[in-house]
A and B are shown apart, each in its own frame.
Chain A
Amino acid sequence: MKEPGSVHGITEMERREFLKLGLKITGVIAGGSILSVVALPEKEARALVDMETYDGSPYNPHYCMVIRQNHCVDCELCKEACVKTNSVPDYGYRTTILEKRLKDPEGREFSSFLPVLCNHCMNPPCVRVCPTKATIKDEKTGIVIMIDHKCIGCKTCMAACPYNARYFNEEKRAIDKCNFCLDTRLSKGKKTTACAEACPANVRVFGDLADRKSEVWKLTHEPDKAIWVLRPETGAKPVIFYRND
């Protein structure tokens, strides 16, 4: 319902288009035909996520991932590579692809696919709630890791995670989750995660946000490209960034 003076009913795309123009929608008047807009400060206009708030993070390298969402075709080669690399059992997952069914203007059905994994948050709710400090943020890289022998399997972190990125691994008797292949690849000198390497469409771009020459930094700092994160309202400050193209 579009009510006078409310921004309700404005789609995310509409909002984004206005943000790109440097305008913020503050209300809807006359049944949605007239929008009330104000000019945005320059940095807000650039993207839905203010990338400047990620500057000066304590991590170096600060590993993150940029997901070029509209290139994902759900081939799930990422999931296959992850399972193989990290010995993920068939009842678990470290990354997944969500699907939304949509219709184009001609009425043809298509899907929008959304790759999801641990967001390696700057303020991780899982770390905050863990009673035994079994899940922590790696001091060097910012990767949210598990210390398996400390985990008592209480699953509080599973409930706290805004991204449903954790499962209980029966064999390990501990929670398991994405760790950007820290133990299986990065520590062995490989430069990227298994999922990013497996992706045929270069949807998942892994890299160091602290390095201004890195591809991830460039992808998240293009002036006319909107960047968004999942569930920003939680304040977890995730480092999995989404954009199109």
Chain B
Amino acid sequence: MSKMKIVLCLLSMFFFMAVPVMGQDDEGEDYPQEPIIFTKPVKAVIFSHKTHVEDNGLDCDSCHDEPFEMAAGTAEENDDFNMEALYEGNYCGQCHDGETAFASNKRCTLCHIGVKGYNRLQGSTAPEKEKKGH
């Protein structure tokens, strides 16, 4: 078998493996499949692209680059990335105003997963201290 054949073989394998990924691009806009986890200013808040895109029909332009830049974690670096800002209609509060989507001051723990939710997502198997006892 010539070296050329092996190279072709590998190339074709690569091509077939790549097809499904490229196919997704054709069907719709690409977005992160894993949830975004914010840990500032408090631990932790979950944001799911899947829920917002698939269940609520938003597209990239709905939130990018305003109010959120494409790079995950950018908003987190801002001093005003807090609940007060949301109540004033910034960040998540642009939609989560009680009309477009549920208000930012309602249903806290749908987004706030807490330290426990954060650890769960990290796959932490550390035993929880509070579970021990009598």
Q: CB within 8 Å of B: which residues of A?
A: 70-71, 73-77, 91-93, 96-99, 104, 108, 110-113, 116, 158-159, 164, 200-201
Whether, in the assembled complex, B117 has its beta carbon less than 8 Å from a beta carbon of chain A, the answer is: yes
Q: What would 30 A/B residue contacts be, using CB atoms closer than 8 Å?
A: A73-B112, A74-B109, A74-B112, A74-B113, A74-B114, A74-B115, A75-B42, A75-B43, A75-B112, A75-B114, A76-B115, A92-B129, A93-B129, A93-B130, A96-B129, A96-B130, A97-B114, A97-B116, A97-B130, A99-B114, A99-B116, A108-B110, A110-B109, A111-B113, A111-B117, A113-B114, A113-B116, A116-B130, A158-B134, A164-B133
Task: Please give me the residue from chain B that is nearest to A165 by CB atom.
Answer: B133
Residue of B with least CB distance to A74? B114
A75 and B115 contact, CB distance less than 8 A:
yes
* Apart from the given pairs A98-B130, A164-B130, 13 other A-B contacts in the complex at a CB distance below 8 Å: A71-B108, A73-B109, A74-B109, A74-B115, A75-B43, A91-B129, A96-B130, A97-B130, A104-B107, A110-B110, A111-B113, A111-B114, A200-B41
Residue in chain B with minimal CB distance to A75 = B42
Is B109 touching A113 in the complex (CB atoms < 8 A)? yes
Q: Please name all residues of chain B whose beta carbon is closer than 8 Å to the beta carbon of A77 when the two chains form the complex.
A: 42
3 nearest interchain CB pairs?
A74-B114, A73-B112, A75-B42
Judging by beta carbons under 8 Å apart, are B114 and A104 in contact? no
Residues in chain B within 8 A of chain A (CB atoms): 41-43, 51, 107-110, 112-117, 129-130, 133-134
Q: Which residues of B contact A98 (CB under 8 A)?
A: 130
Q: Which of A71, A73, A200 contacts B114 (CB 8 A)?
A: A73
**Bound form: Cα–Cα A111–B108 in Å:** 9
Q: Which B residues are CB-close (under 8 A) to A73?
A: 42, 108-109, 112, 114
CB distance from B92 to the nearest CB of A (A): 14
Report how far A201 CA is from B112 CA in the complex, Å: 12
A94 to B38, CA, bound (A): 27
Q: Which residue on B lies nearest to A166, using beta carbons?
A: B133
Known contacts A75-B115, A97-B116, A110-B109; is-contact A158 B133 (Cβ 8 Å): yes
Kindly report which residue of chain A lies nearest to residue B134, judged by CB atoms: A159
Contacts of B43 in A (CB 8 A): 75-76
Q: Report the bound CA distance from A110 to B116 in whole Å.
A: 12
- Chain B residues whose C-beta falls within 8 Å of the C-beta of A96 in the assembled complex: 129-130
> Which residue in chain A gives the minimum CB-CB distance to B112?
A73
Expressed in whole angstroms, the minimum distance between the Cβ of B84 and any Cβ of chain A is: 11
Residue of B at shortest CB range from A158?
A: B134
Minimal beta-carbon separation of A160 from chain B (angstroms): 9
Which A residues lie within 8 Å of B51 (CB)? 108
Verify A111–B134 contact, CB threshold 8 A.
no
Query: How near does chain B come to A21, taking the closest CB pair, in angstroms?
Result: 24
- Bound CA–CA A104/B134 (angstroms): 32
Tell which of B41, B107, B116 has the most Cβ of chain A within 10 Å. B116
Indicate if the CB atoms of B114 and A70 lie closer than 8 Å: no
